[in-house]
């Protein structure tokens, strides 16, 4: 049997970051930069006020106090987006709003709170030091310097910076197009009433969602019946729009395991047993003239999900250009005992919480590979190594954090 790490390494070596493309910033959100972004201009690009108030000469208001305010003539008014037409000079102030360019002649801003807010003449009740409440050009970013490096993930924060320094588009690694094909005679589309023996095709919906959450553009194909010609035809149709194909079902030892039957004949996909639970039967290889990578996942829902997390999500992240393609892993105190199979890495479904300042993992009761309810409640996977056969309450375990939204 192949180890989990070995299978993942073989799959990861078969993919590389997709050729960069240029995208408008909003479409590039979530993607990884394939170029350095350099500032076309400084930030701020001009000296401006950090407060609503009055642009003044600091020397004019040096003696100001509540008991003996200094009175200045208000000779102009500058909202953000405008420039003053007058100058500040001794005895003259200009009313100014946050973000408006500092008028010529001024060397400080007095916040409106320290004044009577006059519009013709203003009484100022406290002094300010020269340079106060002025945001200087270039104090944030110097023109011509790189502000975002190759490999940066475009988040709300970094995309704001790219925009502020002059960009509308950036070069990024595109989102991989992932096609999910579910197989099985027993599968029906979501919402279709079931005859006895049929089940809803939950895997394709789950895997498309998981692929999208990983950053891919994912499509659902199928369900395809366990028929070799139908499966071949679907693969042929779908390959043209795929950077990665995922199949679900039909890879075990059963008589109708069509995925394995069809792809074994072609010879470019390897079917192996991986020493893990759930998810032992795995297949990985390439298909078609373009050698599109394909991962064939087992059909049991929990097996399919765990296989996606452990083997497929890293492929999507690598194609997107992420340097670290793995989920965050933490150490957590396990709150209940459970058994683990000898010789296999177990991925047990747990709820990960922070209690009293430390991570704790609450195992979901039943760990069968068909237990979708437990999978849905879990938000983390405990990783139990092959040589460990029992976890006791209080043991420290390794947990893959799948991320969660607080209810």
The size of the interface with ligand AMP (CB under 6 A), counted in residues, is 18
What's phi and psi for 286, nearest 5 deg?
Answer: -130, 160
- Shortest distance, position 252 Cβ to ligand AMP, whole Å: 5
Among 78, 108, 187, 274, binds ligand AMP (CB under 6 A): 187
Q: Which is nearer to Mg ion, 250 or 293 (CB)?
A: 250
- Shortest distance, position 40 Cβ to ligand AMP, whole Å: 50
Q: How far is residue 204's CA from residue 224's CA, in Å, rounded to a whole number?
A: 11
Part in contact with ligand AMP (CB under 6 A); list of ranges 109-117, 247-255, 264-272, 283-291: 247-255
Measured between alpha carbons, how far is residue 362 from residues 119, 291, 393 in Å?
A: 65, 42, 10
Q: How far is residue 77's CA from residue 331's CA, in Å, rounded to a whole number?
A: 59
- Shortest distance, position 6 Cβ to ligand AMP, whole Å: 22
Q: How far is residue 364's CA from residue 377's CA, in Å, rounded to a whole number?
A: 8
Q: Which is nearer to ligand AMP, 294 or 391 (CB)?
A: 294
Q: 3-state class of 307 per DSSP?
A: helix
What's phi and psi for 83, nearest 5 deg?
Answer: -120, 145
Q: Which is nearer to ligand AMP, 38 or 202 (CB)?
A: 202
Closest to 300 in 3D by CA, of 238, 370, 351: 370
- Shortest distance, position 371 Cβ to ligand AMP, whole Å: 12
Q: Which is nearer to Mg ion, 5 or 189 (CB)?
A: 189
Q: Which residue is nearest to ligand AMP (CB)?
A: 299
**69, interface contact from Mg ion, ligand AMP, none, CB < 5-8 Å by kind:** none
- Termini Cα distance of the chain: 41
Q: Which is nearer to Mg ion, 44 or 249 (CB)?
A: 249
Pair type for strands 177-183 and 187-188 = unpaired
Residue carrying the six token digits 């990960």: 352
How many CA within 13 A on the CB side of residue 162?
Answer: 27
CA-CA-CA-CA dihedral for 251, 255, 258, 264, to nearest 10: 70
**In 183-215, which positions are buried (b, 16+ CB within 10 angstroms) versus exposed (e)?**
bbebbeeeeeeeeeeeeebbbbebbbebbeebb
Q: How far is residue 231's CA from residue 247's CA, in Å, rounded to a whole number?
A: 10
Tell me which residues touch Mg ion (CB under 5 A): 184, 249-250, 299
Q: Which is nearer to Mg ion, 27 or 227 (CB)?
A: 227
- Shortest distance, position 256 Cβ to Mg ion, whole Å: 6
Q: Which is nearer to Mg ion, 199 or 396 (CB)?
A: 199
Closest to 389 in 3D by CA, of 356, 342, 352: 342
Q: Which is nearer to ligand AMP, 184 or 283 (CB)?
A: 184
Pair type for strands 121-124 and 70-78 = antiparallel
Part in contact with ligand AMP (CB under 6 A); list of ranges 57-65, 243-251, 358-366, 383-391: 243-251
Q: Does 184 bind ligand AMP (CB under 6 A)?
A: yes
Q: Are 115 and 122 in contact (CB under 8 A)?
A: yes
Kindly write out the interface string for residues 284-323 of this chain, putting x where it contacts ligand AMP by CB under 6 A and - elsewhere.
--------------xxxx----------------------
Residue carrying the six token digits 């973000």: 99
Residues in region 41-100 near ligand AMP by CB under 6 A: none
Q: Which is nearer to ligand AMP, 146 or 190 (CB)?
A: 190
Kindly write out the interface string for residues 192-231 of this chain, putting x where it contacts ligand AMP by CB under 6 A and - elsewhere.
-------x-xxxx---------------------------
- Shortest distance, position 397 Cβ to ligand AMP, whole Å: 27
Closest to 182 in 3D by CA, of 116, 245, 104, 129: 245
Contact positions vs ligand AMP (CB under 6 A): 182, 184, 186-187, 199, 201-204, 248-250, 252, 254, 298-301
């Amino acid at each position: 049997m192949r180890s989990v790490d070995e299978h993942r390494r073989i799959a990861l070596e078969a993919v590389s970051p997709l050729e960069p493309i240029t995208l408008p910033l909003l479409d590039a959100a979530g993607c990884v930069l394939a170029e350095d972004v350099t500032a076309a201009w400084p930030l701020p690009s001009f000296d401006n006020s950090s407060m609503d108030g009055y642009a003044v000469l600091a020397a004019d208001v040096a003696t100001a106090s509540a008991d003996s305010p200094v009175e200045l003539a208000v000779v102009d008014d500058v909202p953000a987006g405008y420039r003053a037409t007058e100058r500040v000079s001794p005895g003259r102030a200009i009313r100014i709003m946050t973000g408006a360019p500092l008028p010529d002649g001024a060397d400080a801003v007095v916040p409106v709170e320290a004044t009577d807010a006059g519009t013709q003449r203003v009484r100022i009740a406290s002094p300010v030091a020269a340079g106060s409440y002025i945001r200087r050009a270039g104090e944030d970013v110097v023109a011509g310097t790189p502000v975002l490096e190759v490999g940066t993930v475009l988040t709300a924060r970094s995309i704001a910076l790219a925009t502020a320094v002059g960009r509308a588009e950036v070069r990024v690694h595109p989102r991989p197009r992932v096609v999910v094909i579910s197989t099985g005679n027993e599968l029906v589309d979501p919402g279709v009433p079931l005859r006895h023996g049929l089940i809803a095709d939950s895997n394709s919906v789950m895997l498309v969602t998981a692929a999208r959450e990983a950053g891919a553009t994912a499509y659902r194909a199928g369900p395809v019946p366990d028929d070799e010609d139908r499966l071949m035809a679907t693969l042929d149709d779908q390959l043209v729009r795929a950077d990665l194909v995922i199949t679900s079902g039909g890879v075990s030892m059963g008589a109708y395991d069509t995925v394995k039957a069809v792809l074994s004949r072609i010879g470019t996909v390897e079917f192996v047993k991986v020493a893990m639970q759930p998810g032992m039967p795995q297949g990985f290889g390439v298909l078609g003239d373009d050698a599109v990578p394909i991962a064939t996942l087992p059909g049991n829902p929990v097996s399919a999900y765990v296989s996606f997390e452990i083997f497929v999500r890293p492929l999507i992240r690598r194609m997107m250009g992420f340097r670290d393609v793995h989920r965050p892993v933490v150490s957590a105190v396990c709150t209940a005992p459970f058994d683990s199979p000898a010789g296999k890495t177990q991925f047990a479904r747990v709820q990960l919480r922070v209690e009293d300042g430390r991570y704790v993992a609450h195992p979901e009761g039943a760990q069968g590979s068909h237990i979708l309810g437990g999978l849905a409640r879990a938000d983390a996977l405990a990783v139990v190594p092959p040589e460990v056969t029992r976890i006791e309450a209080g043991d420290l375990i390794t947990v893959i954090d799948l991320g969660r939204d607080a209810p």
